[in-house]
Structure 1
C-alpha cells in the first residue's frame, strides 16, 4: 500500500510517500502556515492509496491508530489547548487532506498511543481522585511514534540486545521512554509535552509551588506564564538567545558563561531523568539516541554515557564522533550497548496506517 505520511510540526511540514516501508518520494516545507497546496500537489503527483497523519495528543479517546471521521477530528480538536504548538497544525493537515482527497482513507497516528502501556502507578498524578477522573488527568507521554521506531530499530542494530531500553528522543522537544520487554513503563513527558527534560525553548519540569508563587505573588498572568514556559525558557531562556544546542555549544566554546550554564543544566536534567527511567525498568540493556540532537551531537551522547558509566555504558570516541545515522557507537568493552537511530516517524506512521485500515 502506498501511504502518504503527513508530519506537521510547529512551523514545518514533512511529506513522505512510502510503499510499505520503502521511501518513494519526499517533500519538506520549512515554513508552513497551514495552506493546503503542498499536500494537494504532492497527492496529485503521487496518488497515495491512504494518508497517515502524525497527531501529538490522542487523550483518552484516541488510544491507537484510528481512521478519521468527523467525530475523531472533533475529539482531537478538543485537545488543542494541551499541545498548542502541534495539535492545531496536525488538524490543519487533516482538514486540508480531507478537503482535497475525501475518498482517500486517512488515519490519525497519535504519539500518546505508545505510552498506553504505562502502569497505573506511573501514569497517575497524586491529585484528588475526583480531579483525575473528571478531567482525565494522567501522564500521557509523547514522541511515541519516534520512540516506537527507535526501540525496534535500535534492538536490530544491537543484535536484539534490547530487553530494557532507554529511548532518548532529543531535539527541540525532548523526552525519554523506559521500555521493558517492548512495553513502555515510564516516560518523562506527562499530561502535556511541557514536563520532563530541559528543551530548546521549554523549561521542562519546574516546582509547581514556584509557578503558583509567580501567579499569586509576582503578578505574572496565566498567559504570560504559559508563553514563557513554552517559548522563552529552556536553553533559549538560560543562554539568552537561540535555543538551538548547536548555537549554545558554539557560544560555550567562546567562553560564554550563560551558554556554559545552559548546556550544563540541560545535560544534568538529561542524566537525572535517565537515572529515574532506568530505575523504573530495573536496569539497562540498550541506550538509544534519536532526534535532531540525539543523532547529531556526539558531545551530549558522550556526556550522558559518561554519567551512566557505572552501569556499563561506554561509547567508542571515534565511532561516536563519526555517527549521525543508524550505527552502534558502543566501545568493545561496554556491558550496555549504545546506538544512534535516524528518526523515521514516517515508517511508523505508514505501518500504523496500514494496520488500522486492514483491521
Structure 2
C-alpha cells in the first residue's frame, strides 16, 4: 500500500510518497511560490537517488501544482509509479482540529465543513490545508483522504492545563483555549523516546525546536501540557514569533506605532523572535555564525532562546512531578548540538550527566547523549511527521 502525504500551505505544497509495506519513503518534494511569480518545483526519487532541484514550473494554483506532482510521480524516466492507481490513499496535514477531533479522521463533506469553520482559529493554515484536500478529491476521485491534525495529540490535556483565565463564556461560546501544535512530531518523538527508555510508565519532555518551536510534557504516552496555545504564537521564543508575551505589551506597541490588528499580528508572528532580537535573519545558522564573531545581539537572542526552553522544562518537570527523559528534535533540536548541551548543562540539578563526546558534536540518527549513570536521559531524535501521517492514513483506510 502506498500513501501520498500532502502538506499544503498558502503558497507551497510539500509531498511524500511512502510505501507502507516497509514504511520507506520512495519520493518526496516541494512546490514553492504557488500563485506567485517564479514558482519552483523540487523532487527527489529516493529509489534511484535522482534529484530534480529548483526546476521552474508554471503553478498558478494548487490544482496545477498537485497535477505537476502526480505527473512527476508517473514520469517514465524519474517517476516511482506507473499510474495513480498505485496511490492507495492520501494523508493530509491539517493544523487545527479544534475540539472536534482528538484523532485523525477520514474526510467527508461534514469533516470539510468543520475544518472550514475552524479556519477562524488558524487563518494562515487551515484554509490552505482544506484547499489541498479539495484538490486531491477532485483530481483523484474515489481515493480516500485522511486528515491528520497538529492539535489532536494534545487533546489529552486536562482543563486545568488547557483553559485560559478569561470569562468562562469565551471558552463555551468561542472555544478559546490552549490547543497546542506540532502534535505529529511530539507523538512520534515521545513514542521513540519511550522505546529508547525501555519503559511504558514514563515522564518525557519533548523539545521540538525549529523555526517554530514547542515543548510538551508527555506522561505515559499522554500530553499533560504543551507550550503553544490557541495559535502557534504562544510558548517559547521562535524564529520569527514572540512566544509568550504580556498582552498589554502588544496593546502598547499597537498604540505607539499606530498599528491595526493585522499590523500587530504580523509584527508578533513574522518580525519578532530571533529575527526581532538578532536582526538580520531568523536562521539559526546565521545566528551561530554571528555569535562566533561576538555579535552581542546574536548572543542575546541565543541566550533568550535557551533560557525560555530551560524554563519550560523546569515547569513541566513540576507538572509531571518528575522526569525520565528529555528528547530534542526539529531542525535546531537535531542539528544544533550546542543548544542541547547548553540547555542541559543548566539542568544538572535533575541528575543529568552529559556524555561530553556525544553531546559535543553532531551525530546522525537517534542517539542518547547522556552517560549510563545519568538519572535523566537526554536523546536526540529525528522526527518523522510525514510517517505519522502515513501511518494514520494506513490505519484508517487499510
- Same fold, TM exceeding 0.5? yes
Compared CA separation, residues 289 and 328, structure 1 to 2 (3 A): same
Count of equivalent residues: 358
1:36 aligns to what SS in structure 2? helix
- Which segment drifts farther, 105-114 or 16-25? 16-25
1:168-218 CA deviation, whole Å, 9 max, x = no partner?
111111101100111100000011110001000111111011112233455
Shift, 1:353, TM fit = 1.4
Which residue among 303, 328, 331 is the counterpart of 2:342? 303
Instruction: For 1:354 and 1:143, locate their aligned partners in 2 and report how far apart those are by CA, in whole Å.
Output: 20
1:211-231 CA deviation, whole Å, 9 max, x = no partner?
122334552211110001111
The equivalent of 1:26 in structure 2 is 27
Say whether residues 1:14 and 2:53 are aligned partners. no
Task: Compute the TM-score of the two structures, normalised by the length of structure 2.
Answer: 0.85
1:179 aligns to what SS in structure 2? strand
Say whether residues 1:52 and 2:91 are aligned partners. yes
Shift, 1:95, TM fit = 2.1
Which residue among 154, 179, 186 is the counterpart of 2:218? 179
Which residue among 283, 288, 291 is the counterpart of 1:252? 291
Instruction: Identify unmatched segments of 5+ residues in structure 2.
Output: 35-61, 75-79
Instruction: For 1:21 and 1:125, locate their aligned partners in 2 and report how far apart those are by CA, in whole Å.
Output: 43
Instruction: For 1:292 and 1:43, locate their aligned partners in 2 and report how far apart those are by CA, in whole Å.
Output: 27
Report if the CA contact (8 A) 1:157-1:326 is conserved: no
1:302 aligns to what SS in structure 2? helix
Which residue among 143, 154, 166 is the counterpart of 1:104? 143
The equivalent of 1:168 in structure 2 is 207
Compared CA separation, residues 42 and 341, structure 1 to 2 (3 A): farther
The equivalent of 2:387 in structure 1 is 347
Query: Counting helix residues as a fraction of each chain, which structure ranks higher?
Result: 1
Compared CA separation, residues 192 and 112, structure 1 to 2 (3 A): same
Instruction: Identify unmatched segments of 5+ residues in structure 1.
Output: none
1:166 aligns to what SS in structure 2? strand
Task: Compute the TM-score of the two structures, normalised by the length of structure 1.
Answer: 0.94
Bigger Cα Rg? 2
Say whether residues 1:41 and 2:71 are aligned partners. yes
The equivalent of 1:126 in structure 2 is 165
The equivalent of 2:102 in structure 1 is 63
After superposition, the CA RMSD in angstroms is 1.9
Instruction: For 1:249 and 1:161, locate their aligned partners in 2 and report how far apart those are by CA, in whole Å.
Output: 37
The equivalent of 1:264 in structure 2 is 303
Report if the CA contact (8 A) 1:162-1:285 is conserved: no
The equivalent of 2:362 in structure 1 is 322
1:276-295 CA deviation, whole Å, 9 max, x = no partner?
12211111101111111111
Matches within 5 A, 1:145-294: 145-160=184-199, 163-216=202-255, 218-294=257-333
